């Protein structure tokens, strides 16, 4: 336009001062100046960061290389902003970091420029996590829907996983089969952090009829299990309920093997079960107070017998001396008869069904002479389950035998003959061997403890068991803290364990225990710790006083004193996944760094951070002092951990 005005001025001057026109000067008439395409040099939103999911005014400004351009460009912004003028504010709502593109166009061309409008990083905060239905039928595949919500908008987006299920989005449905309650762990994480929430799915054992409450008790479902409560008119602990009768007035109402308690109820004596008005004797197992070598005919009480007949004579004599009624045999095998058949009162080999059309499975369960449970029925005592309760480590009089005492068996954990049986138990030569079990053992070691069997001149005991089947053991639903053996293993450098969570040393061990407890569905998983010492003793790391029970309800210790007196009530060889591990002198080790009194041994793989030294290990198949302090092992070995709820 300026050129056009100048040309008019020149033309006017020419008209007033000369005779010629523009062409006289050799000049063409000027045209409009050419348009200038917009060239953006900046694009700025104010503010440059806005909160997530909140409508916020944003002012858009930009600049050109030639300003003003000609003709004036028309501009717009994508992502829902639309046409906009410089300096204009629009409302913007974001759920994620977003790139905005400014496009300006005139007749000469188009140009674009981008800018990122950010959202402050925010770690996910999980407000809720639910499983529907919250309670399942026992052992029935059921579709469970997991849903959750955030109390904020995570930035950037936070993908989620459910432990035991995998990557998931809210509303995920999957088939779940449970035989016990389980706590599922939801974890959502982004670069700003992680959020964790727990949801427990219960199992109604009462509705499923999977409880073992007696006729005079009612099953009451609990989040993790169930309890038994005596019905009105009956008294007891729920496992045994006796009719409330004035037995103090009429003592004859009680069975001969029961005691009148408080003048109101008859309660069966230890070693017996029933209502109190009737009591049945449980089958008994013990180790002999007498010892001998592999030539059984030389034992006191054996004459005039030899071999297995001598062992049975010894057992029967010991039972009779202690006033234990019934028929007893030694838990032993020879080339002709397996222990499995013998405890059924039969002869022959298990492989041949003990001479029957089908394999018998009725023997047991057994208690010790003091009434404490030893083992369930034989099908669960032996492989593949290998379930024991308290070790059968008392003699016929109920006295505990030595902590390292062994028992001659010649029998493996299937109840059949091993390769070592002292020439059918007729020799004490040092050149012949006989398999032994641990008096204080569980798992496999109670019957077959050693990789190298002792020679037949070694002195040991016998384990004597009452034959055939007996009444069921009382059920166990103790009010106790939980304790378990980890199903996973690792070296003495605890930071390398998969569940260590980036931690080192004993903190890593606690993280492993808590992760395993979460996996098992324990509601109080954050309270689990490893029974280990570092520069701090194991006992000083725990603040509650027990009692502690294995996942199957068997009490391992009634208090901290009981935990550190050099002997457990039962070996801790049950994992959080409810597996009874075999355990023996080769495969039963646990990292502890701890003595039997709960103090630090200071042999602990450089405070559990190295594989270049040694660490104290215990034996999970044993209940004597070796459960926690057995040998020092190379820190490169793969061992387990004990985990106890605090």
Partner residues linked to 307 by β-bridges: none
Mean per-residue pLDDT, 417-446 = 94
Q: How far is residue 363's CA from residue 345's CA, in Å, rounded to a whole number?
A: 9
Specify the fold of 40-117.
Answer: Immunoglobulin-like (2.60.40)
Q: Are 417 and 435 in contact (CB under 8 A)?
A: no
CA distance 229 to 242: 12
Six token digits for residue 170: 């809210």
Report domain extents, the chain.
1-26, 40-117, 126-206, 211-281, 284-474, 481-645
> For 302-345, what is the HEC assignment?
CCCCCHHHHHHHHHHHHHHHCCCCCCEEECCCCCCCCHHHHCCC
Secondary structure class of 126 (helix, strand, coil): strand
Cis amide bond preceding 571, omega within 30: no
Residue 241 pLDDT level (bands cut at 50, 70, 90) = confident
Q: Tell me the average pLDDT across 440-448.
A: 92
Q: Please give the backbone phi and psi of residue 548, each rounded to the nearest 5 degrees, phi first.
A: -125, 140
Quote the CA–CA distance of 167 and 228 in Å, as a whole number.
39
Q: What is the CATH number of domain 284-474?
A: 3.10.100.10
pLDDT in tens, 48-91: 988 888 899 999 999 998 887 788 899 999 999 999 999 999 99
Q: Which CATH superfamily is domain 481-645 in?
A: Mannose-Binding Protein A, subunit A (3.10.100.10)
The string of pLDDT tens digits covering residues 2-39 is 333 333 333 334 344 444 444 444 445 444 556 888 99
HSE toward the beta carbon, residue 123, CA cutoff 13 A:
8
Q: What is the per-residue pLDDT across 577-623, written as a single tens digit (0 to 9) for each? A: 889 998 765 667 999 999 999 999 999 999 999 999 999 999 999 99
pLDDT of residue 586: 61
More confident site: 128 or 204: 128
Q: Per mean pLDDT, which range of 257-261, 376-380, 406-410 is the poorest?
A: 257-261
Torsion angle (degrees, nearest 10) of CA 31, 37, 41, 45: 120
How is domain 126-206 classified at the architecture level of CATH?
Sandwich (2.60)
Confidence at residue 264, expressed as pLDDT on a 0 to 100 scale:
74
- Which strands make up the sheet holding 109-117, listed edge to edge? 82-83, 74-77, 98-106, 109-117
| C-alpha separations of 359 from 287, 340, 341, 355 in Å | 27, 10, 9, 9
For residues 329-349, one letter each, b for 16 or more C-beta atoms within 10 angstroms of the residue's C-beta and e for the rest, the string is bbbbbbeebbbbbbbbebebb
Residue 441: what pLDDT? 92
Q: In this prediction, what percent of the chain has a pLDDT beyond 90?
A: 61
Q: Residue 112 forms beta bridges with which residues?
A: 103
Confidence of residue 275 (pLDDT cuts 50, 70, 90): confident
Dihedrals phi, psi of 252, to nearest 5 degrees: -65, -10
- C-beta separation of 67 from 38 below 8 A: no
Q: How far is CA 351 from the centre of its chain?
A: 37
Predicted local distance difference test score (pLDDT) of residue 178: 82
What would the mean pLDDT of 363-367 be, rounded to a whole number?
94
- How confident is the model at residue 206, as a pLDDT? 78
pLDDT at position 137 is 84
- Per CATH, 40-117 and 126-206 having the same topology is answered yes
Q: What are phi and psi of 570, to 5 degrees?
A: -150, 145
Q: Which of 482, 495, 489, 498 is nearest to 576 (CA)?
A: 482
Tell me the pLDDT of the chain averaged across its residues: 87
Task: Convert the pLDDT of each residue in 296-352 to its tens digit.
Answer: 999 999 999 999 999 999 999 999 999 999 999 999 999 999 999 999 999 999 999
pLDDT, greater one: 421 or 208: 421
Cα torsion for 132, 134, 138, 144, to the nearest 10°? 20
- Answer whether residue 625 shows pLDDT above 60: yes
Predicted TM-score (pTM) of this structure: 0.66
Distance CA 113, CA 75 (A): 11
Tell me: cis bond preceding 495? Omega within 30 of 0 counts.
no
Give backbone dihedrals phi and psi of 492, rounded to 5 degrees, phi first. Answer: -75, -10
pLDDT higher than 70, residue 41: yes
Q: How far is CA 210 from CA 205, 227, 299, in A?
A: 5, 12, 47
pLDDT in tens, 390-403: 999 999 999 999 98
Give, in order, the Cα–Cα distances in Å from 480 to each of 308, 416, 522, 573.
42, 37, 13, 17
- What pLDDT score was predicted for residue 15? 41
Token code pair at residue 476: 């166990």
- As given in the structure block, the two tokens for residue 435 are 């398999």
Instruction: Sort strands 142-150 and 74-77 into parallel, antiparallel or unpaired.
Output: unpaired
State the DSSP code for 51: -
> Is the pLDDT reported for residue 265 higher than 60?
yes
pLDDT for position 243: 65
Q: Higher pLDDT residue, 492 or 34? A: 492
- Which pLDDT belongs to residue 473? 85
Residues 6+ away with beta carbon under 8 Å from 168: 146, 160, 161, 162
> Is 513 in a helix, a strand, or coil?
helix
Model confidence pLDDT, tens digit, residues 185-207: 888 998 888 888 888 888 877 77
Residue with tokens 């012949």: 432
Residue 507 in 3-state DSSP?
helix
Residue partners of 449: CB distance under 8 A and separation at least 6: 406, 436, 437, 438, 441, 584, 585, 621
Nearest CA to 517 among 224, 221, 227?
A: 224
Tokens matching residue 195: 């959020």
pLDDT at residue 286 tops 70:
yes
Which segment, 245-254, 470-479, 567-576, is predicted with the most confidence on average? 567-576
User: Using CA atoms, how far apart are residues 443 and 589, in angstroms rounded to an integer?
Assistant: 13
Q: Which residues of 633-645 are buried (b: 16+ CB within 10 A; e: fewer)?
A: bebebebbbbbbb
């Amino acid at each position: 336009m300026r050129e056009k005005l100048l040309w008019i001025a020149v033309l006017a001057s020419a008209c007033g001062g000369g005779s010629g026109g523009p062409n006289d000067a050799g000049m063409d008439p000027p045209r409009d100046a050419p348009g200038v395409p917009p060239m953006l040099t900046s694009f700025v939103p104010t503010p440059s960061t806005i909160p997530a999911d909140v409508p916020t005014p944003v002012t858009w400004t930009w600049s050109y290389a030639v300003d003003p351009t000609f003709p004036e460009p028309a501009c717009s912004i994508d992502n829902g902003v639309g046409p906009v003028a410089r300096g204009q504010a629009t409302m913007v709502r974001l759920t994620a970091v977003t790139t905005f593109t400014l496009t300006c166009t005139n007749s000469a061309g188009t140009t674009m420029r981008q800018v990122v409008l950010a959202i402050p990083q925010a770690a996910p905060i999980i407000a809720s996590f639910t499983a529907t239905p919250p309670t399942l039928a026992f052992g029935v595949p059921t579709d469970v829907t997991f849903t959750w919500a955030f109390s904020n908008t995570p930035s950037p987006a936070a993908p989620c996983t459910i432990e035991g299920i995998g990557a998931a989005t809210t509303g995920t449905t999957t088939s779940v089969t449970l035989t016990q309650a389980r706590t599922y762990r939801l974890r959502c994480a982004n670069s700003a952090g992680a959020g964790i929430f727990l949801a427990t799915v219960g199992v109604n054992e009462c509705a499923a009829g999977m409880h073992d409450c007696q006729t005079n008790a009612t099953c009451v479902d609990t989040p993790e299990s169930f309890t038994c409560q005596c019905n009105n008119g009956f008294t007891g602990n729920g496992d045994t309920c006796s009719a409330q009768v004035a037995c103090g007035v009429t003592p004859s109402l009680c069975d001969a093997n029961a005691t009148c308690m408080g003048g109101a109820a008859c309660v069966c004596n230890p070693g017996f079960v029933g209502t109190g008005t009737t009591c049945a004797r449980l089958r008994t197992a013990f180790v002999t107070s007498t010892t001998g070598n592999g030539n059984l005919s030389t034992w006191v009480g054996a004459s005039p017998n030899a071999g297995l007949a001598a062992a049975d004579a010894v057992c029967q004599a010991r039972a009779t001396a202690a006033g234990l009624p019934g028929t007893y045999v030694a838990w032993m095998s020879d080339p002709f008869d397996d222990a499995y058949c013998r405890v059924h009162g039969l002869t022959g080999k298990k492989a041949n069904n003990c001479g029957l059309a089908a394999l018998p499975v009725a023997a047991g369960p057994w208690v010790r002479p003091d009434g404490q449970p030893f083992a369930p029925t034989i099908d669960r005592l032996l492989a593949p389950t290998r379930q024991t309760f308290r070790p059968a480590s008392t003699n016929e009089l109920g006295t505990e035998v030595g902590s390292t005492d062994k028992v001659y068996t010649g029998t493996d954990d299937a109840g059949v003959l091993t390769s070592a049986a002292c020439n059918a138990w007729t020799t004490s030569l040092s050149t012949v061997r006989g398999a032994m079990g641990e008096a204080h053992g569980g798992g496999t070691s109670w019957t077959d403890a050693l990789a190298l069997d002792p020679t037949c001149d070694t002195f040991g005991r016998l384990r004597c068991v009452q034959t055939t089947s007996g009444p069921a053991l009382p059920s166990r639903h103790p009010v106790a803290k939980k304790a378990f053996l980890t199903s996973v293993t690792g070296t003495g450098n605890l930071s390398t364990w998969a569940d260590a969570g980036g931690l080192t040393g004993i903190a890593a061990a606690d993280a492993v225990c808590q992760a395993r407890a979460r996996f098992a569905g324990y509601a109080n998983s954050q309270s689990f710790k490893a029974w280990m010492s570092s520069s701090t003793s194991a006992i000083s790391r725990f603040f509650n006083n027990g009692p502690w029970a294995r996942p199957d309800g068997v009490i391992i210790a009634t208090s901290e004193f009981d935990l550190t007196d050099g002997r457990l009530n039962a070996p801790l060889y049950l994992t959080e996944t409810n597996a009874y591990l075999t355990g023996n002198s080769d495969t039963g080790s646990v990292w502890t760094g701890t003595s039997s009194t709960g103090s630090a041994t200071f042999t602990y793989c450089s405070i559990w951070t190295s594989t270049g030294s040694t660490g104290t290990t215990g034996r999970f198949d044993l209940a004597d002092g070796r459960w926690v302090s057995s040998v020092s092992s190379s820190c490169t070995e793969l061992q387990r951990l004990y985990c106890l709820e605090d």
